[in-house]
Amino acid sequence: MKKISHNGYQKEDVLKHGNKYMIANGYFGYRGTLDEYTKDEMVQFNLNGIYDQVGTGVRESINAYNPLYTRIDFEGVPITVLSMKPYLHEQELDMKNGNVRRITTFHIKDALFTIESERFADQINRNLMYEKYSFSTSMTLTVDIYTGIDTVIYDLSGVHLESTLFLEEKGIYIVSGKTHELRKDVVVAEKIQTDFKHKSDMMIIDNKVLHHYRIRLVPAKIYTIIKYTGVIHSILDAKEVLVKKVKEASSIGYPKLARQNNQFWEKKWEVSNVDIGGNKAADLAIKNAIYHLISIRPYSDEVSIPARGLSGQTSKGAVLWDTEVLILPFYLNTDLQSARRIVKYRINGLKAALAKAKAYGYEGAFYASESQEDGFDACSDYYVSDLVPNKRIRTYFKEKQIHINSAIVYAIRKYIERTDDFSVLFEGGFEMVFECARFYANYATLSDSSSIYEIKDVNGPDEYHERVNNNAYTNYMIKLTFDTLLDFIHTLRKMDSSFVKTILSVENREKALLNIRKVRNSFYLPKPNRQDIIEQFDGYFDLEDVSLEKWMKRLNHSNEYSGGKNSIVSPTKVIKKADVVSLLFLLNDEFSDKVKKANFDYYEPKTEQGSSFSESMYSMLAINIGNTEYAYPYFMKSAEMDLNFEENLSEKGIFTGGTHPASSGASYLSLIYGFAGLKHHGYLLSADYKLPKGMSSITFKVIVKNHIASLKVNNTKVQITWGDVSEEI
C-alpha cells in the first residue's frame, strides 16, 4: 500500500497539507495540521451531521474544540515551525492504516531537538482519536511542555460554540459547549499517559486547557505522551458517555488500539483496493481517492457524504446530489452498509422535502439543493456574490433545481438493483419515491398547443442557464422517476399487496397516482434532431454560438459568475458543466452510440468544465464512445484533486478549500466503469479493456449480492473470479 509524504517545511503549504494528510472516520474529520498549530493554520476538527447558524451568517457544519494541541517551549520560546526554521521536517500519510506521522528536528543552541508524532481516528468507536507524541534532544535541555485542548477554533461564519465549560475528572480534561442556534451539546475530552514521571499542572492559557510539565531532558532519551481524545454531540449525558469511552480506550492502551486500527484497514482494503499496472502516478492517485472515500463513509442513517467531505466548513458541510450520482457507486461495489446509509439519509429527509414543496405551493416532495440535518435545505436565494463589493446575485438553485429528486430516485433504484434489499422501500423508500413523482406530476404543465405535459421554468445541471423550459436532462430523469415508481408498485404488490394498499390509501395518493400515470403517458421528451443532437432546453439552439476563448475574453474577471445575468437565460451557448452529456451517461442504454458521439462532439467545445462532476461525465462518455485518450487527463485531474491541490485554498484570509469526495468518486467511476468497462447484469458481470496508453492493467473487486468478484482487465483479456462475501463487509 502506498504512502504519501513530503520533506521540508513551507508556510504556503499549510492549507493543502491540511487536506492531504487529513484523517477521518465518518463521524469527524481532523485536518492534517501539526501539533502546534492553532486556528490561524486552519486546524479544523469537523463534525458530520451537526450544523449551526450565527445571526444572518451562513448555516454550516460545526468544528469542535481541538484536543491534539501540543507545544514545547525552551527558555520561553516555542519550538515550532511557526517560530523557527526546522533543520528537518517530514510529514507522511500511510494509506494502509490511516496513520499520519510527522518528524521535525530543530537546532536549539548546540542541540538537535526532535519532535515525532503519529495519529489516527478510531474507525470502530468513531467518537475517538489517538495520538502518540514523542520528543528527544542530543544535549541536556530544560523545556516546558503544554498539551491539552484548544478552544479557540476556526469558524468560517461566526462562533458556533458558546457557553464553554472547562472540567477535569480524575485526570481527564473536558471542554463542553453549546451550539448557538439549537443549543446542542458538543463535548471534547482528553486523557494523557506519559512515560516520564513528572507532576503536571492544569493551566488555562489563551483559552486552552493544558497540562504543563517542566522537564530536564536527558540526551538521547525519547519521551512520549499518549493522547486519548474524543468528541460527542447531540445526545443526552454526552459528557458521561464520552468520558467512559475515553477511559476505556486508555485502559486498552495505544499499542492494542493501533493493532485494531490496522486490522480494520486491512479488511477494508481487501475489498476496496484498486491496482493500476504500468502507471505509478495513476495507481497512487486512485488509492488516495479510495482512502478518502473509506475515511468519510457515513456512520449512521442520519448522515451522508458532504460536498467537501469532513475537511472543514467549506460548502456548509452540506450534501449535494453529487453523492448519489458520483459517490454512491463506490460504496455499492465495496461497502453495502454505507451505500444503504446514503439511501436512508434521503429517506429520513422526506419530511423536510415535503415541507419545501408545500412552501413553494406544490404537492409531493422537493429535495434540498444543499442538504443538512433532517434534509434541511441550506441553499439561499442569493447564492453567489458579484465582484462588486456587497452586490449579491439572485440565483434559482434552491427554487428551480427540481432534478435533485430524480438523482435520489436514481440512487435508490440502483441500490435495489444491486442488492435486492427491498427493505428500504418498506422503511420509507416507497413513500419517498412516490412523493418525488407526485411533485413532478404536480409541477408539470399541459402544453398550450397539444396534450403533452412539459416541465417549464427549471434549472438543469448547467447552472449558467437558469429558468429554462424542457431541460432535456430534467425531463428524461423525471420520466425515470415515474417509471421507477410504477416498477416499485408492481414489485411490491407481489411481495406485500396490503403494504401498497395502506400507503396509497393516505394523503390522496390514489388520486395522485392517477395523475402521475396521466402525466407519464403524455410526457414530453426532447428527441435528437436530424444531426442526432438533443437540444439542452427549448431555445438553446437559438442562442449565440461563441467559442469558449472569445467568451472568456468578455468576462471582467476570470472568477466572474456567468449565470444569472438574465432572469430567463444566459445569452450564449457556453455552459458551465455537462448537462445533456450527463443524461447520456446516466441513461446509457437508452441512446445509440451515434447519438452519444454527436452530442459529445457538439457540447464538449461549449462546456467550461466548471466542476469535477462535468469533467467526469465527459470523461466517462468519451470512453463509452471509444475516445480513451481524451478521457485520461480528466481521470487524472479528478484522481489527483486531493493530492495536488492546485486551486486557491484561501481568499482574503477565508478558507475556501477542502477535499473533493465527488472527484474521488468520479475517478473511481471513470476507472471501473470507463477504462475497465464494468457492467452489471443482475448477478452477472462483464468488463472490457479500454485502457489508455500507459495503463497495462486494472485489478479490483466488486460485491454482487452475497458474492464478491475479483476482476483483472488488461489490454488483451478480462479475468473474473468469484468468492463469498465475508460477514464484515
Let me know: does 26 contact 41? Beta carbons within 8 Å: no
The dihedral built from the CA positions of residue 11, 13, 16 and 17, taken in this order, carries a sign that is negative
Residue 13 phi/psi, 5° resolution? -90, -5
CA separation, residue 664 to residues 201, 292, 576, 586, 692 (Å): 45, 8, 20, 18, 19
- Residues in Cβ contact with 275 at an 8 Å cutoff, skipping those fewer than 6 apart: 283, 697, 698, 699, 700
Within 466-564, residue ranges assigned H as helices are: 472-504, 509-521, 548-554
| End-to-end CA, the chain | 20
Let me know: does 397 contact 391? Beta carbons within 8 Å: no
Let me know: does 131 contact 148? Beta carbons within 8 Å: no
Q: What is the dihedral angle through the alpha carbons of 283, 287, 289, 295, rounded to the nearest 10 degrees?
A: 180
**Beta pairing class for 453-454 and 650-651:** unpaired
Find, among 229, 240, 585, the residue nearest to 407 by Cα.
Answer: 585
Residue 192 phi/psi, 5° resolution? -120, 155
Distance between CA atoms of 85 and 474, rounded to whole angstroms?
56
CA separation, residue 533 to residues 244, 403, 459, 463, 648 (Å): 63, 21, 20, 20, 37
Residue 128 phi/psi, 5° resolution? -110, 155
Q: What is the dihedral angle through the alpha carbons of 558, 640, 34, 88, rounded to the nearest 10 degrees?
A: -110
* The one catalytic residue among 190, 363, 370, 463: 463
- Cell numbers that stand for 419 in this block: 442488492
CA separation, residue 144 to residues 81, 212, 223, 705 (Å): 17, 7, 13, 58
Angle at which helix 350-359 crosses helix 430-443, to 10 degrees, equals: 10
Let me know: does 336 contact 703? Beta carbons within 8 Å: yes
Let me know: does 452 contact 520? Beta carbons within 8 Å: no
**Beta pairing class for 141-150 and 128-137:** unpaired
Residue 162 annotated to the active site: no
Distance between CA atoms of 619 and 690, rounded to whole angstroms?
13
DSSP 114-126: EEEEEEEE-SSST
The answer for 658, left when phi > 0, alpha when psi is -120 to 50, beta otherwise, is left
Side-chain-side CA neighbours of 355 within 13 Å: the count stands at 9
CA separation, residue 597 to residues 580, 594, 603, 610 (Å): 12, 5, 10, 21
Write out the catalytic residue numbers. 463
